[in-house]
Structure 1
Amino acid sequence: METIFGNLQGLKSSQLKQLQRLYHQRIPGDRITTPEFSQRLAAISTEINQPVSAYLNRRGQVFRVGVGTPRQTQIPPLELPRYGAERLSGIRCISTNLKPEPPNESALTAMVMQRLDALVVLNITGTGFTRRGGGSTGYVKEAYLAHLVSNTKQLVSTEQSAIGTQNSEIFSSVSPPMSLDMLAEQDFIELVENLEAEFQREFVAQEVDAENDRVLIVGVVTDHVTAQQFQDTLIELARLVDTAGGEVLQTLQQKRSRIHPQTVVGEGKVQEIALTAQTLGANLVVFDRDLSPAQVRNLERQIGVRVVDRTEVILDIFAQRAQSRAGKLQVELAQLGYMMPRLSGRGLAMSRLGGGIGTRGPGETKLETERRAIQRRISRLQQEVNQLQAHRSRLRQRRQHQEVPSVALVGYTNAGKSTLLNALTNAEVYTADQLFATLDPTTRRLVLSHGETGETQEILLTDTVGFIHELPNSLMDAFRATLEEVTEADALLHLVDLSHPAWLSHIRSVREILAQMPVTPGLALVVFNKIDQVDSETLALAQEEFPLAVFISASQRLGLETLRQRITQLIQYVVDNR
């Protein structure tokens, strides 16, 4: 028996049968609808006193019938056929309307979200002919034909309208009211071919590197976060996406007193995200917070494109940046640790068929097989990380036995640590204006001289992985072998990018991460970098807040001699108090 969608409450069995018979209707392939089919929809709609929406494919077959408006009966994104930005979905909707008005914004939004070939709205009015067996029914007074318009096409008449989605607009064309005979004369094939030709030209004009994700960022601000902190988070997330190789198309925001447990944002915002992703051709939605597996499932089901969180973006960057075997090892461990609890959210193909006796061994499901394989891989990687940790520990013991002091460079990502290491030691570490440009720790020898005595002292200077606000726990755990370079160092140079608007917040974030480490790090000297890129007011504020700090520009080699002297004093203090 064919399924009727929408609100069926209060419908009689005879009315349901009338709706089900619509599935047996067929429209000629070159027609949008016929007067007979439209009047039949109107008769049923009047009898049940509710709108009725019928969805047809390009062969003219009815494959979905719903009680309600186009918005109330729309097809879920994951059930829609796959189509590119240059194509329509191959589906048209014919819907009745009990009010004498053109298609409203809600109906047009549903058309855009489903990328329909066309939307026909039939306005029903008055009482028409008498049905056999008694009772009267309505008739179609007028019809409206709506369809999408290419974003690059200008509005040329008052019949065309724009639906706003904050910073973007999608254009739809709505015809003047017409009779059913006029509607039936419309050449459906010509309409669709012309529309898809427009979208094809637009797609070719806007096509970018196929390897780049087209990203929509979604930010949610709650009461305990200030407006400035929220904006800083979104700017940083956009930079993370850019570093990962994505193109940010737009950022959507919502303020909520608390996070929605199922979808993070509210139902209306989810619809807006889906509409904006459809309009802009986004293939990835990135949220500014960690998402649970259930939230990812719910969002992807409603939006229709892949959804990831901030942690997954960071993990992707780490996977691209890792060069050494140790770095790749730690990144893989972090990724697998992140993936394990999310296996159950990977669709029906990965779901368990049962549990307990009889479901394991040769007959276990694909999900359980993959879970076990990942768990074994995690165990092996954990052993290798432990070996790496032991190896680094032996190297540190050897250095300590030789009584060579060590200093670790720490700081927020992109603060300029690698640039400073190169400037002080003539190292050739890769540098770039990117987040997490380098992951692998690099150690170089630095010779310092005591100004008074002229004696020289050799220390080891280590460049470490950059920190970031709310560094994911999976990365903290996986990179503990690398982070031990920080905890075992005799002293730290805490490098701060003074040119960044959120430099104070960066200092707090780094200190919070250092405080979470199992071993308390050594003394830290705050070093403000990129002073050549800041104004005098910012410089004066930093000097007032941190009077003992050193101010430099590593790229311009400004203040490096002062820094050497302060490092010498710091090391001397550490050595005297061992």
Structure 2
Amino acid sequence: MIPELDNFPIGRRPLRGLRYVHTHLNQEPPDREDITDLRLLRFDILAVITQDKGIPQTIYIAHLLPLGVERQFEIISFNLSNFRFNFREFINNIETEMDRLRAIDTSDSRERAILISVSTDPKYILEEHMEELEELALSTDLVVIDKVVQRVKEINPKYLLGEGKLKELIIRAMDRGATLLVFDQNLTPSQIRAISEMTELKVIDRSQLILDIFAKRAHSRDGKVQVELAQLRYMLPRLTGKGTAMSRLAGGIGGRGPGETKLEVDRRRIKERIHNLENELKKLNMARQQRKKRRREVAIPIVSIIGYTNAGKSTLLNSLTKSEVFVEDKMFATLDTSSRRLKFPEEKELIITDTVGFIRDLPEDLVNAFKSTLEELEDASLLIHLVDISNPYFENHIDSVRNILKELNLSQKPVMLVFNKIDKISPSEAEQICRRYDAIGISAIDKQTLLPLIEQIKSKLWEEKLICNALL
């Protein structure tokens, strides 16, 4: 049996740094199981000594070949009586060639990811989802070295795809120097455990990737508490003894107490931390309610900008209010709600808020965590639903935002549909799409295009309101 290899982890080198030598009680060379061990466990070499009537005869040496070579491994044999083999020189040459063909910058400390999507959905949906997963990966500063899309007739409940296919995928990942597997589908705790047991690479899913982005981007106390709470709620049912799957999140949690296993201590500490964060969130919520009460007392209308992530909400807020809210062409660049005043010549003013971007299949823990922030939408007199018209999947983005509004019980709020980034498509196409959706077209970086939007906001907030009051 192959022992535990924890003291020889797969690092940033192509091979593990271990030789695996064993015997076959017959004259057979390395078999399929040997080669699978060689490829999955990344041994420097796998040697098989054969014997005849208890006398050693032949030694077979199997080793991996660099990426791009037609064969994935090679087996060479020697008679033990004249066996001579310069192992160090041989392996150094192979690793040097492997590094050269993998074209990996060894000074780059970023995680190297292979993105995986396994689904029964049609091909065009899989392609859309993979593009979005790649954007998310780039937003969290991952180096994407490969993408794998598998359309299956039915999902394997244990591994998502068949065990043989998964092994091939893991071998492919290690051949390319990956350190991380990112699944587009949200994995169950048992699936993460099963896949993690088959590989020493880190395994995360789309939800965990989004949580990582949120953890990196949250700056306000509100946002940090909500993100940590979501992370811990997500981690708790997935906490296992192995720990590799949770290493991105579970970093500083641990320690052994008398009479308790480390796992039990971890779970207890996480539950205590969740309880403390929930109490802190309640206090922050009370402060937020007081601010909302003051706003109601002065009767200033609130306009909230909502939309799919990276639609340009912060850019629009900056253009309308001459602010300098942080803007970046990445998903979830803005996590903390920003509010600014917009004054009109007619001595009227309103408050415009920029909210966290929405995304399809938002993890439930995140929806729950950010409900307190998104509660501010309840006080909005008007929602501006901003859509990136240049995105080929904008129709799906509109549906995703509407579904999230429904989940938040905000479907009845007045909503103004606004298409952003019209400068990125032809004027005739932009006009046609705006007409079809009865929407306004703008470019948030061109203030001249914002005039119709401002007039429409004034009309919705004051003129229509005056007409309603007159009718009453």
Aligned CA distance change for structure 1 residues 478 and 329 (closer, same or farther; 3 Å):
same
Q: Does 1:565 align with 2:455?
A: yes
5+ residue gaps, structure 1? 6-63, 65-74, 156-160, 164-171, 351-360, 450-454
Aligned to 1:525: 416
Displacement of 1:481 after TM fit? 1.8
Displacement of 1:377 after TM fit? 2.1
Displacement of 1:448 after TM fit? 3.5
Structure-2 separation of matches of 1:248 and 1:322: 24
Structure-2 separation of matches of 1:287 and 1:87: 24
CA contact (8 A) 1:284 1:305 kept: yes
- Which sits farther off after the overlay, 308-317 or 182-191? 182-191
Aligned to 2:85: 186
Q: Among all aligned residue pairs of Structure 1 and Structure 2, give the percentage whose two residues are the same amino acid.
A: 37
Which of residues 220, 228, 244 in structure 2 aligns to 1:324?
220
Structure-1 separation of matches of 2:5 and 2:164: 15
Aligned to 2:64: 148
Aligned to 1:495: 386
Aligned CA distance change for structure 1 residues 531 and 78 (closer, same or farther; 3 Å):
farther
Give the aligned residue type for 2:458. T
Structure-1 separation of matches of 2:466 and 2:215: 38
Aligned to 2:443: 553
CA contact (8 A) 2:102 2:176 kept: no
Aligned CA distance change for structure 1 residues 461 and 173 (closer, same or farther; 3 Å):
same
> What are the superposed Cα offsets for residues 525-558 of structure 1, whole Å, 9 maximum, x if unpaired?
0000001112357425523430x20000001335
- Which sits farther off after the overlay, 109-118 or 511-520? 109-118
Aligned CA distance change for structure 1 residues 395 and 92 (closer, same or farther; 3 Å):
same
SS at match of 1:479: helix
Displacement of 1:145 after TM fit? 4.5
Q: Does 1:243 align with 2:139?
A: yes
> What are the superposed Cα offsets for residues 418-441 of structure 1, whole Å, 9 maximum, x if unpaired?
000000000110001011111111
TM-score by length of 1: 0.71
Which of these two proteins has the greater Rg computed from alpha carbons?
1
Displacement of 1:207 after TM fit? 1.4
Structure-2 separation of matches of 1:469 and 1:495: 15
Aligned to 1:281: 177
Q: Does 1:309 align with 2:205?
A: yes
Aligned to 1:112: 39
Displacement of 1:401 after TM fit? 2.1
Structure-2 separation of matches of 1:345 and 1:570: 57
Structure-2 separation of matches of 1:304 and 1:530: 43
Displacement of 1:90 after TM fit? 1.6
CA contact (8 A) 1:406 1:490 kept: yes
Aligned CA distance change for structure 1 residues 541 and 505 (closer, same or farther; 3 Å):
farther
Aligned CA distance change for structure 1 residues 113 and 367 (closer, same or farther; 3 Å):
closer
Give the aligned residue type for 2:148. L
Aligned to 2:117: 219
> What are the superposed Cα offsets for residues 138-193 of structure 1, whole Å, 9 maximum, x if unpaired?
x97x8764423344xx86xxxxx434xxxxxxxx4455xx6625872333344234
Displacement of 1:464 after TM fit? 0.6
Give the alignment's Cα RMSD to 1 decimal: 3.4
Aligned to 2:266: 370
Aligned to 2:366: 475
Displacement of 1:486 after TM fit? 1.4
Equivalenced residue count is: 457
Aligned CA distance change for structure 1 residues 419 and 470 (closer, same or farther; 3 Å):
same
Displacement of 1:474 after TM fit? 0.9
Aligned CA distance change for structure 1 residues 497 and 193 (closer, same or farther; 3 Å):
closer
CA contact (8 A) 1:290 1:310 kept: yes
Displacement of 1:256 after TM fit? 2.1
Aligned CA distance change for structure 1 residues 521 and 481 (closer, same or farther; 3 Å):
farther
Aligned CA distance change for structure 1 residues 391 and 459 (closer, same or farther; 3 Å):
same
Structure-1 separation of matches of 2:25 and 2:315: 66
1:413-452 maps to which residues of 2 (within 5 A)? 413-448=309-344
Aligned CA distance change for structure 1 residues 511 and 479 (closer, same or farther; 3 Å):
same
Q: Does 1:91 align with 2:19?
A: yes
Displacement of 1:502 after TM fit? 0.7
Aligned CA distance change for structure 1 residues 334 and 402 (closer, same or farther; 3 Å):
same
Aligned CA distance change for structure 1 residues 388 and 519 (closer, same or farther; 3 Å):
farther
> What are the superposed Cα offsets for residues 299-337 of structure 1, whole Å, 9 maximum, x if unpaired?
111022111111111111111111111111111111121
Give the aligned residue type for 2:115. I
CA contact (8 A) 1:422 1:429 kept: yes
CA contact (8 A) 2:15 2:43 kept: no
Q: Does 1:339 align with 2:235?
A: yes
> What are the superposed Cα offsets for residues 112-147 of structure 1, whole Å, 9 maximum, x if unpaired?
3222333457899xxxx8x69xxxx9x97x876442
Structure-1 separation of matches of 2:329 and 2:182: 22
Aligned to 2:425: 534
Displacement of 1:521 after TM fit? 5.2
Structure-1 separation of matches of 2:138 and 2:119: 22
Structure-2 separation of matches of 1:506 and 1:345: 39
Give the aligned residue type for 2:452. T
Give the aligned residue type for 1:507. I
Q: Does 1:162 align with 2:71?
A: yes
Displacement of 1:264 after TM fit? 1.6
Aligned to 2:253: none
Q: Does 1:234 align with 2:143?
A: no
Displacement of 1:291 after TM fit? 1.2
Structure-2 separation of matches of 1:95 and 1:439: 58
- Which sits farther off after the overlay, 309-318 or 186-195? 186-195
Give the aligned residue type for 1:390. M
> What are the superposed Cα offsets for residues 372-398 of structure 1, whole Å, 9 maximum, x if unpaired?
322222222222222222322222222
Structure-2 separation of matches of 1:566 and 1:302: 58
CA contact (8 A) 2:387 2:419 kept: yes
5+ residue gaps, structure 2? 247-256
Structure-1 separation of matches of 2:241 and 2:436: 48
CA contact (8 A) 2:15 2:44 kept: no
